[in-house]
Structure 1
Amino acid sequence: MILKFIILCALFLLLEFYSYQAFRTLVKLRWVLISYQIISFLLLAFILYSFSQVDRSVGQTKQFMFTTGLMLLIYVPKIVMTLVLFGEDIFRIGASIMNYFIYNAPRKEMMPDRRKFVSQIALGLAAIPFLSLIYGIFEGKYNFKVIKQTVFFPDLPDAFDGFRITQISDVHSGSFDNPEKINYAIDLINEQESDLILFTGDIVNTHAKEMHPWLETFNRIKNYKYGKFSVLGNHDYGEYVTWPSQQQKEENFKEIKELYGKIGFELLLNEHRYIQKGEDKIALVGVENWGVNFKKAGDLNKASQNLAQDDFKILMSHDPSHWDAEIKDHPKNFHLTFAGHTHGMQFGIEIPGYFKWSLAQYIYKQWAGLYETAGRYVYVNRGFGFHAYPGRVGIMPEITVIELKKGNNVA
């Protein structure tokens, strides 16, 4: 514990040292530099104090989210500046070695001065994440996108050719602070001409009461001809706080499961339902949360009991790590899996059809969008809400619409 604290302090000192170097190279007014140092110290003290006051029995609060946003706003740009100036220092050290051994330069001329234009580049690059994070906090977190995808299956029952499914995931209602924006998102959901809607978990951050102010809003989601179904996410189990008693934890979990019904969704707990259309049917399977690094309550075998291998099956499983671990090679053959969980880290770069990057890809093999293995597919929703960082940059909140088509191609 002490070693971690020492390493953390050393990291903060390194970031502060290099960011100060960038300002000092460009700004010569002593009072401005002193003011910068004082403000940096006060902000760091506030962040450390705020995190030290986190109550494990309460969980994420508005204060925690504000502090997380402030920390990222301050230190992500400083990380950028540090990388640039550290790179320059490697060059300066290399130049000083050459000056000493090759050119025999006097000691005072050995180390080249820090170059002004490099500091300007560092500050310019740092401004990109700084402005992006501000945008993400004030605009990005509610910049809802409807993403449409067509998926082809050669064995899709004929009656389901053209069947449309809307998916939402990771609502995290305890983070919301703007009813107008959430109502706008509900309107977007209702505008989609879908046959079925699926909600793949995380209705709250921790406590059932987080959803109470939003029940009326989410009850505005219209009824769908073939139903409204949901599964649980890892946050729905209330495992990220310290509970006064096991009974209170269990009561909260019971209330959270009831929340889904209160907004009109049928919660599937390791079970399945048949969706009948004309003479054809498909199986909708819903498992509890199962994640490689999170709660493993999902039971695929129980959920698909009595289903035949050649039944057309759609699966809801919150965590996409379940896909590689158990789903894609399961003998029951799950044709299409709907997942969420990753949020795309709420930060990344995405140019539809050309480029997609986020830190999430270094943790999850499937982290946003559609993936395929041997004719089986998983779609990872980028999330409806937000958690921890109160914003989104590049990876926007998503409402998914999947159209099923009979055939052999993916469009």
Structure 2
Amino acid sequence: MAAWIIASIIFSALVFSLEFYAFQALKTITKNKAIKALWIIVTVAFYGYFIYTLVTTPRSAGQTNAIQLASGFLLTLVMPKLLLVFFMLGEDVFRILKKGYSWLTPGETAVFESRRVFIAKIALGLAAIPFASFIYGIVQGRYNYKVLKYQLTFNDLPDAFDGFKITQISDIHAGSFTNKEKIMYGIDLINKQQSDLMVFTGDLVNNMASEMDNWVSVFKSLEAPYGKYSVLGNHDYGDYVSWDSPEDKIKNFEAVKAVHPKMGFNLLLDEHRYIEKDGQRLALIGVENWGKGFNQAGDLQKASEKVLADDFKILLTHDPSHWEHQVKENTFNYQLTLSGHTHGLQMGIEIPGWFKWSPSQYIYKQWAGLYQEYGRFINVNRGFGYHAFPGRVGIWPEITVIELKKGEKNT
């Protein structure tokens, strides 16, 4: 209890400091009491709504739409103010300099006053950018589906699979969905790719199997002539909510697994399937979730039993840290790995072919897009859905299409 009280005091102090410094920018450029009052009212309302939602939502409910919305509003409020704080702390340095300067040269401080106003205006102008971006991310960004296409060449690809196309989706998080029309648009976009094989790399739900009740028929409409295959993600195990009993958690987990065949997906639980074409084959291997430091349920060795070393292998594993720590240097040679999990943190900056940044990169070495090491590839899908923050800012929902190409034989 004492630790909780101390943590609450520290958190409250940080929040107060953030709001105090942000308010200084407003006070610097306007004396209008109505504007300042509106600023305070909106701030109190957003914090109040977040706290009320958090307190009134039982732990067993998990990430409800109400919690996501409250979190989204709070982030939209706080992130621009963090930028303001950066400038206002700089302003405080100027205040100290001004005081010292006034002692040395009385009557010559006007330059500092004008600079304070200038800095405050610049700070508020810059803060408007993330504010507008977060609003867009919540309203439209979460449905701004992007089709990313890659052509990968392998010398050891069976000839029959030259030109074979794979569509990958990941991280559906059905419990976050609110707009069926927008989701259907994404589904239609997937089908328009007309790929040979479709794979889903985990996190079907936020926590509970019931989240898919209204979406099974939607995802069942996905089409691929060589089949649809899937694996589990960390959220599919129900680890992030409280359960009345261990039996209830097990029952939910079994229900989550049962949803996959209802959608027409073949769920791979530490096992493999051979995809055959014109008398040749490739091995599709799927493991349960394996994450560095948590939920290491996946068993790569078990999943690869009876797969031959010379087989061309495609591995489905939800968490890209699995590739980093167990797969990329594995002498069994998993030529292509498909993962998800990170969402690219659902916020960042991407200029295709030029620049890519997200806070996610400080957590995961492979966090979004295609990577190659040791002659092997991994694609980290940015996710179809969203979680926690009910939007996407700069990191858009992704549909990946990978075309396999046969390379020249080594001589």
Task: Tell me what 1:318 maps to.
Answer: 318
Aligned residues: 405
Kept in 1, the 8 Å contact 2:273–2:285? The answer is yes
Q: Where does structure 2 lack aligned partners over 5 or more consecutive residues?
A: none
Q: Which residue of 1 aligns with 2:18?
A: 15
Matched residue, 2:388: 388
User: Equivalences for 1:131-210 in 2 at 5 Å?
Assistant: 131-210=132-211
**What residue in structure 2 maps to residue 265 of structure 1?**
265
2:51 aligned with 1:48: yes
Aligned to 2:241: 241
Residue of structure 1 equivalent to 2:39: 36
Superposed CA RMSD: 2.0
State the SS of the aligned residue for 1:213.
coil
Alignment of 1:71-82 (within 5 A): 71-82=74-85
The AA in structure 1 aligned to 2:397 is: P
Identity across the alignment (%): 54
Match of 1:403 in 2: 403
The secondary structure found in structure 2 opposite 1:57 is: helix
Q: Partners of 1:312 and 1:304 in 2: how far apart? A: 12
Structure 1: gaps spanning 5 or more residues: none
What is the distance in 2 between the residues matched to 1:30 and 1:138?
31
Contact 1:95 1:111 in 2 (8 A): no
Check conservation: 1:168, 1:384, Cα contact below 8 A. Answer: yes
Listed one character per residue, the Cα deviations across residues 208-255 of structure 1 (whole Å, up to 9, x for unaligned) are 111010111111112x22111000000100110000011111111001
Correspondence list, 1:352-371, <5 A:
352-371=352-371
Task: For residue 105 of structure 1, report the CA deviation from its aligned partner.
Answer: 4.4
| Structure 1 counterpart SS, 2:58 | coil
Counterpart in the other structure of 1:86? 89
Read off the aligned partner of 1:360 and give its amino acid letter: S
Which residue number in structure 1 is paired with residue 374 of structure 2?
374
Counterpart in the other structure of 1:278: 278
Name the stretch that deviates more: 87-96 or 298-307.
87-96
Q: Deviations over 1:293-324 (max 9, x none)?
A: 43110000000112222221100000011111
Q: Distance in 1 between matches of 2:85 and 2:386?
A: 28
SS of the residue corresponding to residue 226 of structure 1 reads coil
Q: Displacement of 1:408 after TM fit?
A: 7.0
Partner of 2:330: 330
Q: Distance in 2 between matches of 1:315 and 1:321?
A: 13
Mean Cα deviation higher: 326-335 or 235-244: 326-335
Farther off after superposition, 183-192 or 306-315: 306-315
Q: In structure 2, do the counterparts of structure 1 residues 96 and 153 end up closer, same or farther at CA, with 3 Å as the change threshold?
A: farther
**1:320-361 CA distances to partner (integer Å, 9 max, x unpaired)?**
111111111122110000000011111111111111111111
Q: Bigger CA drift: 49-58 or 339-348?
A: 49-58
Are 1:231 and 1:269, in contact at CA under 8 Å, matched by a contact in 2? yes
Structure 2: how far apart are the matches of 1:354 and 1:109?
A: 45
Determine the C-alpha separation between the residues in 1 that align with 2:367 and 2:66. Answer: 28
Report the TM-score when normalising by structure 1: 0.94
Choose 300-309 or 251-260, whichever is displaced more.
300-309
**AA paired with 1:245?**
S
Output the CA distance in 2 between the equivalents of 1:282 and 1:96: 74
Residues 185 and 35 of structure 1: CA distance in aligned 2, closer, same or farther (over 3 Å): closer
Task: Measure the CA separation in 2 of the matches of 1:408 and 1:73.
Answer: 51
